[in-house]
């Protein structure tokens, strides 16, 4: 049975359609206009003048996604102290985000990209025919709206600390 499952999973993953091209560091961050967990609309331009960590994640209420969200939650004051914002994005709907945010007391915006257009514009959309998800990747966006770092290989346990450290380094360089 394990062999069948492994074969099924590898076939399922191999038929995934990969998203559009991922923007590189130095390029403008793709814009968005999405609703948050409270039904309020947010656009990339709302964050002009601030450093922004945009993290994409596959699914509300799943173990890795919960770990990552809670780590951002637990470090939100460190982000605020350096003047940075955090925004999470997945393909879940507003209602799912509301439940997730309320359950884990998330003090930051999570955006509902139900159609996957924003995930596609960032190159993180994965289409497995039966399900579409955003792969777990993040982007740091500077106050001018330019991507300064792309995290392709994200470990939910350590990612928040990595982002904070990189932000502190980048911010100290930009003030010199």
CA distances from 57 to 4, 8, 154, 169, 170 (A): 28, 23, 10, 25, 24
65 is catalytic: yes
Pick the catalytic residue: 29, 34, 53, 65?
65
Find tokens 């003047």 and name the residue.
83
Q: DSSP alpha helices (H): ranges in 75-158?
A: 76-81, 94-104, 117-121
**Which residues partner with 137 through β-bridges?**
56
Residue 2 CB: number of other CB atoms within 10 A? 6
Which string of DSSP letters, residue by residue, matches 65-97?
HHHHHHHHHHTHHHHHHTTEEEEEEESS-HHHH
Could you tell me if 85 and 106 are in contact, meaning their C-beta atoms sit under 8 angstroms apart? Answer: no
Instruction: Measure the CA–CA gap between 22 and 72, rounded to whole angstroms.
Output: 23
Q: Which secondary-structure segment (H or E) carries 137? A: strand 137-141
Active-site residues: which are they?
65
């Amino acid at each position: 049975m394990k062999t069948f499952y492994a074969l099924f999973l590898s076939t399922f993953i191999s038929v995934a359609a990969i998203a559009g091209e991922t923007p590189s560091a130095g390029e403008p961050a793709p814009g968005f206009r999405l609703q948050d967990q409270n039904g309020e609309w947010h656009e990339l331009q709302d964050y002009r003048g601030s450093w922004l960590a945009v993290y994409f994640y596959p699914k509300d209420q799943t173990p890795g996604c919960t770990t990552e969200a809670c780590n951002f939650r637990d470090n939100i004051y460190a982000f605020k102290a350096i003047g940075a914002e955090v925004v999470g994005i997945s393909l879940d709907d507003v209602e799912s985000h509301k439940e997730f945010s309320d359950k884990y007391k998330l003090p930051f915006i999570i955006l509902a990209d139900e159609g996957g257009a924003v995930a596609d514009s960032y190159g993180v959309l994965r289409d497995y025919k039966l399900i579409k998800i955003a792969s777990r990747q993040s982007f740091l966006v500077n106050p001018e709206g330019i991507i300064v770092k792309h995290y392709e290989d994200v470990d939910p346990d350590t990612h928040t600390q990595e982002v904070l450290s990189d932000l502190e380094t980048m911010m100290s360089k930009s003030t010199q």
